[in-house]
Amino acid sequence: MAHHSSRNILWHRAIAVLLAVSALTIEPVLAGDGATEHAQLAALIRQLDMIDRLAEHSVSLPRQGDSRYHFDYARLREDIERVRQGIRDYLSPQRAQPRDPVDLLGGYRQESEEADP
Render pLDDT for 34-86 as a digit per residue (tens, 0 to 9): 788 889 999 999 999 999 999 898 888 877 777 778 888 888 899 999 999 98
In a domain, 82, yes or no: yes
Cα gap 30→44, rounded to integer Å = 13
Domain containing residue 19: 2-94+105-111
In a domain, 99, yes or no: no
In a domain, 116, yes or no: no
Q: Are strands 69-71 and 109-111 parallel, antiparallel or unpaired?
A: antiparallel
pLDDT digit string (tens) for 14-24?
777 777 666 66
Residue 29 has pLDDT above 50, yes or no: no
In a domain, 30, yes or no: yes
Give the Å distances, CA to CA, from 59 to 68, 73, 75.
Answer: 17, 6, 11
In a domain, 75, yes or no: yes
The total of structural domains in the chain comes to: 1
